[in-house]
Structure 1
């Protein structure tokens, strides 16, 4: 069936509908990764967004049951230049089309994604609809309302649960829309992981007796989570803390930083980030629309990483407290695994805290 992407600037991009035949509405953003479409589809950070894949052929290794980042997709549409109808991979269980249909997500393929992405880069992210082309023939009128706010509470877990029950260090993962692999990375490094809702109170977290706190990624404007900043600052004061993506922004905001929306964000698996302490450049996986401002940056925080292409802040650390964060996804490991060192740093901070507690007790 013929379909069309209608943008708020009046532009239209034609293609063939795949997945669930329905209307989808959201912020149209693009991702430059050649692979990883299954993880992208299930990343809660894409809530209320239509994702355009810049790599021309998507779906060639199908969908399997092991690589999901969440139990369900939160995006509202998926756009490709070409979709593979007959994937080939030993782990394949479904085609991309079958998965989108099952999950109620509309897709559009056969789109001139190069032209579409150039438009987004020039004008910034745009709101848009994916819909059957026959609705255009019926003369349907379009308005482009503001997208829902406070997406974090929509995607966050509703109850506390144990991701892993054994490990030398106990990490409480505050779920703002956490990718599964964050808890998985901690578990593989020997941590016991408890996942809690985004609005869990400090006293409830303290009763879990954590050795450290992980702040996860998540969707939307970090300003929507302003009410959580006192909690985050208190956690950073009490425990070793590591923030990723939205967690990075919220840690910085809790100590007085502000954020701003980027023109079209960073979404891809090959973003170069420089560690300002070592001078080394890492190749990172990223997915975010907002960044921490340099203007008014608080004195008690230190910038530890910057994006090589646009000089945006990619990492911060507290000057005294054992709290740090990065804008990118070290758990994703897009080929190179150098950013995994950040998890080892977090483990070292937790072990140091446990050691000091033991000395104090003795």
Structure 2
């Protein structure tokens, strides 16, 4: 239920979302106690709440789930995209019920508490979604106290004082700090995650970790690549010393223009080698900046597992998974680049490729997790290009 700052404390409420303009959404807190400030956004996926919460691209954000039954299949140790959650907290329409799934290891609210993440249930998530669609993603605080006592004025002040995502480089905060190898393939029922069955001459991909999802690494391995992961701040010389056949630019959080300060010069030097490059999400935006295009902050962003994307070469429509609040401005693409995909929701650019060398990128998440598998072919295209 939404409320204004002058309203009385709702009887029995143990949690609240406080917007910077003073609007309050009361509910029942779950997970960890405490408070967190960030950008409030909505996600329309019907499955995969663990993958969403652990996606590093959600650093600095609070997730308002539009699907009402979040947590009903519990939580496990396999359905995660990073070692720990990166989303600050989540808002749900219905209380978390007892888990009902044979893979469940614990209840979702227990999982949230274990990782220090705040949940809020019993909220009109449709009202929040409509507000974001109308006014954009606001700064907000999510808070949970079992005694139900909140200093609302202090929480509003905290939401107002937060800088927002524009100009914020979060890739350094979520990136690994060392170079490491990855050889795990996709998950199989009854067997878990399978080891990659790579040939001796498997092409070598260096993946820059701006906040990389494990599902991306598994798809690269499944497509036949040998993968080495390097930190977001790795230099061109450090990457070249690994003797890669191709470079992968990962997803990640924050403002691409801010991350681009140190990432773009490395990408530009790689492009001079004319070796293959593939980018996803933040990696797509960084490639755009590296070739001279501009990025813009979106009104509400795209977050969910049901986003239609049109492939311009043949008109094929793919249903994709998305998670981004910035986009490459198609009008600023240079002459040596062309658009390959567009969103059928709002016509924003969802893919580009260079016409004079083997470099391409997409805004959507072809690895899904959660989401449809329509775009898996992009990993095969990249790895097959390395072999050629």
Q: TM-score range by the shorter chain?
A: over 0.9
Match of 2:220 in 1: 186
Mean Cα deviation higher: 226-235 or 152-161: 226-235
Preserved CA contact (<8 Å) 1:236 1:322: no
Aligned residues: 352
Q: Which residue of 2 aligns with 1:96?
A: 108
2: CA distance between counterparts of 1:171 and 1:34? 33
Contact 2:44–2:65 (CA under 8 A) maintained in structure 1: yes
Q: TM-score, normalising length from structure 1?
A: 0.94
Q: The residue matched to 2:361 in structure 1 has which SS?
A: strand
For residue 41 of structure 1, the aligned residue among 48, 53, 57 is: 53
Match of 1:15 in 2: 27
Correspondence for 1:208: 242
Shift of 1:139: 7.3
The within-5 A match list for 1:70-109 is 70-109=82-121
- Structure 1 counterpart of 2:3: none
**RMSD over aligned Cα atoms:** 1.6
Name the CA distance, whole Å, in 2 between partners of 1:198 and 1:78: 27
Cα deviation digits, residues 128-152 of structure 1 (max 9, x gap): 1112441147876624221472210
Counterpart Cα distance in 1 of 2:300 and 2:236 = 35
Q: CA deviation at 1:335?
A: 5.7
Is 1:218 paired with 2:252? yes
Deviates more, 1:30-39 or 1:334-343: 334-343
Aligned equivalents of 2:322, 2:154: Cα separation in 1: 39
Separation (CA, whole Å) in 2 of partners of 1:283 and 1:263: 21
Say whether 1:236 aligns with 2:286: no
Distance 1:173 1:154 in 2: 17
Tell whether the 8 Å contact from 1:274 to 1:307 is kept in structure 2 after alignment.
yes
8 A contact 2:48–2:370 mirrored in 1: no
Q: SS in structure 2 opposite 1:182?
A: helix
1:360 corresponds in structure 2 to: none
Question: TM-score, normalization: structure 2?
Answer: 0.87
List runs of 5+ in structure 1 lacking aligned partners.
353-362
Question: Counterparts of 2:231 and 2:331 in 1: how far apart (Å)?
Answer: 31
Q: Alignment partner of 1:135: what SS? A: coil
How much has 1:337 moved relative to structure 2?
A: 2.5
Partners of 1:141 and 1:253 in 2: how far apart?
A: 35
Alignment partner for residue 150 of structure 2, among 118, 129, 135?
135
